Amino acid sequence: MNMMLSKITGSLNTFFIEVGNILLFTVNVVKQLFSGPFEHKELIKQGYQIGNKTLPLIAITGFIMGLVLSLQSRPVLVDFGAQSLLPGMIAVSIIREIGPVITALLCAGKISSGIGAELGAMKVTEQLDAMEVSGTKPLNFVVASRVLATTLLVPILVFFADAVGLLGSFVAVNMHESMSVRLFMSQAFNSLSFSDVIPATIKSVFFGFFIGLIGAYKGYHTDKGTESVGISANSAVVTASLVIFIIDLIAVQVSDIIYGF
Amino acid sequence: MENVIEIKNLKKAFGEKDVLKDVSMVLPRGKNIAILGESGTGKSVLAKCIVRLIEADSGEICVLGKDILGVENEELDEMRKKVGYLFQGGALYDSMTVKENLEFPIRRTQESKNKKEVAEMVEEALESVGLKDAINKMPAELSGGMKKRIGLARTLILKPEIILYDEPTTGLDPVTSGEISELILRVQEKYNTSSIIITHDIKCARITSSEKLKLMMGGKFYVEGTFKELSESDDKKVSSYFT
Ligand SMILES: Nc1ncnc2c1ncn2[C@@H]1O[C@H](COP(=O)(O)OP(=O)(O)OP(=O)(O)O)[C@@H](O)[C@H]1O
Ligand SMILES: [Mg+2]
């Protein structure tokens, strides 16, 4: 009993220390984001790599999500004779929730782990230390540029996922009835309002920030040894995914308060 | 004579494990000191404490007359630019070419330099390590010895007053080790640097150290002396290094 208690307090301890360290790291990175020097070349390079790595995956996943969601929701709506609501319903769920969360989770899997592994390898081979001791500020060059890149790109990827998801939905609708693109669009966008789009976009910005940050944090704090690179990459995915759901939970509460659904 | 590094009663433990137990030493300007010692006695930890990659628990470290343990952020970065550090594997940035590796520290610390000046500095640094041909190679294409030389060139490009070499010849064949050792000596003569050379390689220690050799054991300096004195020592622990 006592041993279990001490085990629990022990792991709680490590949890809170980790949270504290992540917060401290966040503060330092944010400071670097505003203090320069600004590395636009590195930013473009990172942004390009992020897009390059994730676009096909997001396209396929988004399309299938929109398609499947529509096909599954349709029978229920048909029972009530309300199939004309389908485009609007799908649009709201894609834009509010599915687009951002699916994109963020895919990026956690691809980008967070990639950053974690890359910085982990740089740590293990002492490249980060070498930057540190030559006064070249690796937190600025390596970390801030990556975090900025994910923060800017994930919202764009979310828009892309939303668009592809709606395309999937359009295809699904047209499997059963023929509906013009215009009608589909007007039905979809009629039920959308700013209170759907704005919170989702803000949420996506936070997703992007933490996807970069968690990957960088895990990589930057890799232990010695080659196997720790794998551990860092792995725990970057797990932690980033968890943080995404926590942000999602907070976001729904906050927009509840602001828009009063 | 002026000392560029003064270390007094330096201590460092990792958790329960005492690694550095009361280390004191001085490095006079323009001299090379070699530190020998078995694996795991804390030689790398000592070097890392000097540049604050590892925070010491207690003691004093003065670098170029400044208390390095008392400075923060910008001032620490200023100090670090004067101290070169050659990592064991070279620590080249593997996403950059050799040229970009060398440009990186200048670009990040001396923004006023124009392209032509930077190119000249890169060329000079590569020339002093004898690897001008490698300028457009990626680190992955270089051999271990070449990596170390490029690492040294990247250190030299900031014109440090002090260079810390962590095992510059480990893992190299005897011929290449000899070349690197000669190179360290040439660098010291050309740039008038002061250096600490951490090594297992007795030949490297003999070639490079213009001052004394120090032998570290169990987190402390055990003896010091010239190469001749130590190699003729009756102490088994000492002489075993020289056979
Ligand atoms: N960051 C760290 N955290 C915990 N322990 C460490 C850390 N760095 C070094 N140590 C421990 O300190 C001791 C000394 O390590 P150090 O790397 O200084 O040895 P060394 O004398 O350089 O050996 P070698 O010749 O093999 O490089 C080792 O036992 C190592 O496990
Ligand atoms: Mg070592």
Q: Where are the domains of chain A?
A: 37-259
What is residue A241's predicted lDDT score, i.e. its pLDDT? 96
pTM: 0.89
Of the listed ranges A31-35, A119-123, B155-159, B229-233, the one predicted with least confidence: B229-233
Out of A122, A129, A135, whose CB is closest to B81? A135
Reported ipTM: the value is 0.90
Check: CB of residue B84 under 8 Å from CB of residue B154.
no
| Residue B60 belongs to a domain | yes
| Residue B114 belongs to a domain | no
Q: How far is B157 from chain A (nearest CA, A)?
A: 11
What is residue A26's predicted lDDT score, i.e. its pLDDT? 93
DSSP string, chain A: -HHHHHHHHHHHHHHHHHHHHHHHHHHHHHHHHHHS---HHHHHHHHHHHHHHHHHHHHHHHHHHHHHHHHHHHHHHHHTT-GGGHHHHHHHHIIIIIHHHHHHHHHIIIIIHHHHHHHHHHHHTTHHHHHHHTT--HIIIIIIHHHHHHHHHHHHHHHHHHHHHHHHHHHHHHHHS---HHHHHHHHHHT--HHHHHHHHHHHHHHHHHHHHHHHHHHHTPPSSTHHHHHHHHHHHHHHHHHHHHHHHHHHHHHHHHH--
Q: Between chains, do B51 and A133 touch, taking CB under 8 Å as contact?
A: yes
What is residue A35's predicted lDDT score, i.e. its pLDDT? 84
Distance B242 CA to ligand 1 centre (A): 23
Selected residue with higher pLDDT from A65 and B170: A65
Q: Which residue lies with its CA nearest to atom 14 of ligand 1?
A: B42
Q: Between chains, do B51 and A141 touch, taking CB under 8 Å as contact?
A: no
Q: Between chains, do B88 and A126 touch, taking CB under 8 Å as contact?
A: yes
Q: What whole-number distance in Å separates Cα of residue A28 and Cα of residue A26? A: 5
Instruction: Please name the helix (run of DSSP H) or strand (run of DSSP E) that holds residue B219, with its range, or none.
Output: none
Domain count, chain B: 1
Out of A125, A133, A137, whose CB is closest to B85? A133
A177 pLDDT band (50/70/90 cuts)?
confident
> CB-based burial of residue A16 (10 Å sphere; 0-12 exposed, 13-18 middle, 19+ buried)?
exposed
Q: Between chains, do B91 and A37 touch, taking CB under 8 Å as contact?
A: no
Selected residue with higher pLDDT from A161 and B77: A161
Please give all residues whose CB falls under 5 A of ion ligand 2, grouped by chain where several chains appear.
Answer: B 44
What is residue B100's predicted lDDT score, i.e. its pLDDT? 94
For range A122-138, the mean pLDDT? 92
Distance B226 CA to ligand 2 centre (A): 22
Q: Between chains, do B93 and A37 touch, taking CB under 8 Å as contact?
A: no
| Residue B143 belongs to a domain | no
Peptide bond into A37 cis (omega under 30): yes
Which residues are registered as beta bridge partners of B162?
Answer: B83, B194
For range B53-62, the mean pLDDT? 93
A98-110 pLDDT, tens digit per residue, is 999 999 999 999 9
Please say if the pLDDT value at position B196 is more than 70. yes
Residue B48 three-state SS:
helix
Q: Name every protein residue with a CB atom under 6 angstroms from any ligand 1 atom.
A: B 14, 19, 37, 39-45
pLDDT over 70 for what percent of chain A?
Answer: 100
Out of B81, B88, B111, whose CB is closest to A134? B81
What is residue A145's predicted lDDT score, i.e. its pLDDT? 93
Domain that holds residue B181: 3-92+160-242
Out of A130, A135, A136, whose CB is closest to B87? A130
* A interface residues, B as partner, C-beta within 8 Å: 37, 122, 125-127, 129-137, 141
A39-94 pLDDT, tens digit per residue, is 889 999 999 999 999 999 999 999 999 999 999 999 999 899 888 889 999 999 99
Chains A, B: CB contacts under 8 A, how many? 56
What CA dihedral angle connects B162, B97, B129 and B48, to 10 degrees?
A: 30
A249 pLDDT band (50/70/90 cuts)?
very high
Q: How far is B238 from chain A (nearest CA, A)?
A: 31
Structure tokens at A19: 């949270």
Which residues in chain A have their CB less than 8 angstroms from residue B110's CB? none
A185-242 pLDDT, tens digit per residue, is 999 888 888 888 999 999 999 999 999 999 999 999 998 888 899 999 999 999 999 9
Q: Which residue lies with its CA nearest to atom 6 of ligand 1?
A: B14
Q: What whole-number distance in Å separates Cα of residue A175 and Cα of residue B22? A: 79
A113 pLDDT band (50/70/90 cuts)?
very high
B227 pLDDT band (50/70/90 cuts)?
confident
Residue B101 three-state SS:
helix
The closest-lying atom of ligand 1 relative to the alpha carbon of residue B47 is 18
Mutate: best of B48, B103, B108, B162, partner A, most A CBs <10 A: B108
Q: How far is B201 from chain A (nearest CA, A)?
A: 22
Kindly report the average pLDDT of chain A as a whole number: 92
How many CA within 13 A on the CB side of residue A116? 29
CATH of the domain at B73: 3.40.50.300
| Residue B145 belongs to a domain | no
What is residue A117's predicted lDDT score, i.e. its pLDDT? 95
Kindly report the average pLDDT of chain B as a whole number: 89
Residue B19 three-state SS:
strand
What is residue B6's predicted lDDT score, i.e. its pLDDT? 94
Please say if the pLDDT value at position B49 is more than 60. yes
What crossing angle do the helices spanning A86-93 and A181-190 adopt, rounded to 10°? 60
What is residue A261's predicted lDDT score, i.e. its pLDDT? 54
The ligand placed nearest to the CA atom of residue B39 is: 1
What is residue B1's predicted lDDT score, i.e. its pLDDT? 62
Q: How far is B101 from chain A (nearest CA, A)?
A: 11
Which residues are registered as beta bridge partners of B216?
Answer: B37, B221
